[in-house]
Amino acid sequence: MTLLVYDHEGETAGRITRAVTQYLPELPGLLSDLGQRHVTVDGPVDMDRSYIENGLLLPRKPMPILVTKTLILADGQDEARITGIPKGSTIYVDNNLLRDFDESELTVSSTDRAVYNIRLVLWPWADALIRIEAQ
């Protein structure tokens, strides 16, 4: 049995913040007294791939994105397009914050031979990881 504590409001509502696997009968009451939302589930939980909605443990859904290609020519003209990006996503390129993104499409082109690791983040979607290589 696993007791899950989760955020219940704001931009991260449903995010699991703690998983307690050594269940103590008095713990749910203590958490309630502290105003912390929690649920109890059977078995272990992957906190990065799950979230709580309406008291139910659910898998985080993949972002509804499409990538036209992951290999481009490093000629500054060939490009890969990432479409279907949910509004408000944050974009990281090689772990560097690119910007908060309010568009639904990102175009990637390069004049340098390189590999670009792109991560799209927006709760409660599962992070999208895209690798685009320019050669």
Read off the pLDDT of residues 89-116 as tens digits, 9 standing for 90 and up. 999 999 999 866 678 999 999 999 999 9
Count other C-beta atoms under 10 Å from residue 120's C-beta: 22
pLDDT for 36: 85
Cβ proximity of 38 and 28 under 8 Å: yes
Ramachandran category for residue 2: left, alpha or beta (phi over 0 → left; psi -120 to 50 → alpha): beta
DSSP string computed for 71-129: EE-SSSS--EEEE-PPTT-EEEETTEEEEE--SSEEEE--SS-EEEEEEEE-TTSBPEE
Better-scored residue on pLDDT, 21 or 125: 125
Domains recognised in the chain with CATH numbers: 2-59 (no CATH), 66-134 (2.60.40.10)
Instruction: Read off the pTM.
Output: 0.81
Read off the pLDDT of residues 36-72 as tens digits, 9 standing for 90 and up. 889 989 888 999 999 999 999 999 999 999 999 999 9
pLDDT for 82: 97
Task: State both tokens at 132.
Answer: 């685009």
Q: For residue 1, is pLDDT > 80?
A: yes
